[in-house]
Chain A
Amino acid sequence: MTDIEGISVIIPVTERIGEFPSLFEGYRDALDAVGCPLQFICVLDGKFANLAEEMKSLDAKKHSVEIMCLSRTFGESAALNLGFERASYDYIMTLPSYHQVDPKSVAEMVNGIETADMVIARRWPRRDSILNRASNKVFHTIIRWMTGAPFRDIGCGARFIQRRVLEEVTVYGDQHRFLPILADRRGFRVIEIDLPQSSEDTRLRIYGPTVYLGRLLDLMGVFFLARFTKKPLRFFGMVGSVLMFAGALILFVSVVQKYLLGLALADRPILLLGSLFLVLGVQLSALGLIGELIIFTHAKDLKEYAVDETVNFGIETEERNDSSVTEDNS
């Protein structure tokens, strides 16, 4: 690869850490073979800060290593963002801090970047337990159903990204997992390549219920961002009007029953359900309207399109895409 002038490699240490020095050396040797300068950035989340001393002894050979610590536990997205800020090359690779993929194979991602803006790894063939694979499959089926993104392993931390993607797509909270989906929504070409799963990634992982709940909520957040950001009322209004209709129907039937069958209203707990639905439906619609108002008043900041190229505007395309002019003319 001659047109890559360097790669910034970000290794966020946030959840688990494997046999780090040997893993690091594996990454280093694999990427060294690409033949361009490397900048390693290890970002330690707060709870791993005690590893900083140990990390200083990492041997990057001729390449540079930076160790950064977050002051407290902020999570992976924050660690990645810090790494992105420090990265000085236009090609940025993120790598997991524990054995997810075979370290020898990570250089394969570099070949994919010629035709794509972002290359993500899919652990394949997999060596882990049936249970993990099944939950993974379910998770990605839900994602495909919700967002239409065809990815099969967004949990894998090995990614190779062009800088322009990160300039437009930002992640926060626990959204780092969904970076490929968000990039895809902005129209970047994201491809998935198979990297063999590391033989040490085979341990059966069972997470607590909060992890799964958290993931589900993140998923809902991304789903909402992907589908209804600009039109919150379409979502809230749809759910709200179904509820309102159900509530009104229940109330109507019970009132009819009172006058036809003489059933006393005060004895019918279903009245509570009906009026709850009705009120809830109105509340949801009202929230949708508030959402619409927020979108409208901020519409000027939300650019809804992403321009790839322009012709004959008297401005060079590259200049337009890369310009980060922030002055104004007032």
Chain B
Amino acid sequence: MAAKWTLRYHANCNQVERVNLNSLSAGPELSVVVPVFNEEDNIEPLYEAITSSLSDGSKSYEIIFVDDGSSDNTFGCALRIANQDDRLKLIKFRRNFGQTPAMAAGIDYANGNIIVTMDGDLQNDPRDIMTLVEHIHQGSDLVVGWRHNRKDKLISRKIPSRIANWLIGKVTGVPIKDNGCSLKAYRADLIKRVPLYSEMHRFIPAMSSLAGAKIAEIKVRHHARVHGESKYGLSRIYKVLFDLISIKTITSFSSRSLRWFGLLSVPFAILAMITFTWAIWITVENGTTIMVAAGLAVIFGGGATFLLICGVLSELIYKTGAVRPTDFFSSKQFDGGERK
């Protein structure tokens, strides 16, 4: 069969690739993206569980395993299966880049209209995939799994996660009970527009909701780990905290950042005025200037000015930026070539 080629635009990485039309014409309805990292024992059971859960034939699908630079034979195991089943697609990273980049790669390469992401450690149950997909069909933009009966260590996993979810819910106003659950389903045109970097996958529901997406959260099964080691240590709350502050700033304030930074500078401006008046008053009263009071006025005044300038700068960044937080879900239609 002669290969016919076309160009495919990857919105997420802003790249165009040559794609074989023969493979494209058979574009599946569903893409299951699974980042795997040192999971050689889990690969085969995982593949079988996913295929059997999708085997009723109602949906055409592809499974994308993203090997995040495993040091064991994960890729070899997956390759053996992929040679027999071309619905299993593999992406191999050059080295370990982390879970979010792995998901981002899977999403960039996925061809399906609906994309489901899940963990590679068999703690998510592939039998839930169809339930999630059903909700997408009922009109949700994003369906989040909730591990309501979580089988993990209490101290090192569940409590930090509880705190993080509570915080994320409070700050973003989107009370998702389980942001950390990897089992999620998305409309492909939506998720391909979300900038995914660092550990942003945790904030997809919050960001999507702020941008007006319709979110459903449904209970999913969760299993204890059978093979391999857990990849996380004690959750790093401080990272979540700082990420949360930046997400909040980006999503809620960046369109009027001058006002926001201006607000931030108000306390300093007030302090500057108080100390300045104090310094003047003492000078008039005693006839000598007290350096401490004058210095305080200068420091606070400088701080307030600096913050105002920061506001101007971020207005500029927002105006010239390629991505605006509010516009990635604005249209329901996937307009690949429009955004540059």
Contact = CB atoms under 8 A, between A and B. Distances in A.
A137 to B, nearest CB: 27
Interface in A228-277: 230-231, 233-234, 237-238, 265-269, 271-272, 275-276
A61 interface: no
Nearest to A286: B310
Interface string A283-320: 10011111011111111111111111111111100011
Interface string A142-155: 00000000000000
A329 B335 CA distance: 11
Contact of B19 (A265, A282, A314): A314
Interface string B1-26: 00000011101111111111011100
A292 B249 contact: yes
A293 B257 contact: yes
A327 interface: yes
Given A230-B198, A297-B317, A328 B13 contact: no
B13 A300 contact: yes
A290 B94 contact: no
Contacts of B261: 286
A301 to B, nearest CB: 6
A311 B269 CA distance: 60
B237 interface: no
Interface in B281-295: 282, 290-293, 295
A21 interface: no
Contacts of B221: none
B299 interface: yes
Contact of B92 (A300, A302, A310): A310
Contact of B242 (A187, A237, A307): A237
A311 B140 CA distance: 32
Contacts of A23: none
Nearest to B89: A312
Given A230-B197, A271-B292, A310-B90, A290 B97 contact: no
A130 interface: no
B16 to A, nearest CB: 5
A311 B79 contact: yes
A286 B323 contact: no
B9 A289 contact: no
B232 interface: no
Contacts of A312: 82, 86-90
A187 B14 contact: no
A224 interface: no
Interface in B240-254: 242-243, 245-246, 249-250, 254
Contacts of A230: 197-198
A309 B92 contact: yes
B93 A307 contact: yes
B324 interface: yes
Contacts of B69: 187
A74 interface: no
Contacts of B215: none
A310 B66 CA distance: 9
B322 A304 contact: no
B95 interface: yes
A266 B293 contact: yes
Interface stretch (B122-130, B141-149, B160-168, B301-309): B301-309
B292 A233 contact: no
Interface residues of A, number: 60
Contact of B12 (A231, A300, A323): A300
A177 interface: no
Given A230-B197, A286-B306, A329-B337, A315 B102 contact: no
Contacts of A311: 79, 82, 89-92
Interface string A190-231: 000000000000000000000000000000000000000011
A156 interface: no
Given A187-B69, A279-B268, A327-B16, A234 B242 contact: yes
Of A234, A266, A297, which is in contact with the most chain B CB atoms at under 10 Å from its CB? A297
A155 to B, nearest CB: 24
B101 A305 contact: yes
Contact of A279 (B246, B300, B338): B300
B169 interface: no
Given A238-B242, A282-B264, A314-B24, A304 B197 contact: yes
A188 interface: yes
Contacts of A329: 7-9, 16, 336-337
Nearest to B198: A230
Contacts of B282: 266
Interface in B88-125: 88-95, 97, 100-102, 104-105, 109
Contacts of B322: 297-298, 300-301
Nearest to B293: A266
Nearest to A184: B95
Contacts of A286: 261, 264, 306-307, 310
Interface in B4-61: 7-9, 11-20, 22-24
A23 B314 CA distance: 53
A237 B243 CA distance: 10
Interface of B: 7-9, 11-20, 22-24, 69, 79, 82, 86-95, 97, 100-102, 104-105, 109, 195-199, 238-239, 242-243, 245-246, 249-250, 254, 257, 261, 264, 268, 271, 282, 290-293, 295-296, 299-300, 302-303, 306-307, 310, 313-314, 317-318, 320-325, 336-338, 340
12 contacts: A188-B94, A230-B197, A275-B271, A289-B310, A299-B323, A303-B13, A305-B97, A309-B92, A311-B90, A311-B92, A312-B82, A325-B18
Given A266-B292, A297-B323, A325-B7, 18 more contacts: A187-B93, A233-B245, A234-B239, A237-B245, A272-B295, A282-B268, A286-B307, A290-B310, A293-B250, A293-B317, A296-B246, A298-B322, A300-B11, A310-B92, A312-B87, A319-B18, A323-B18, A330-B337
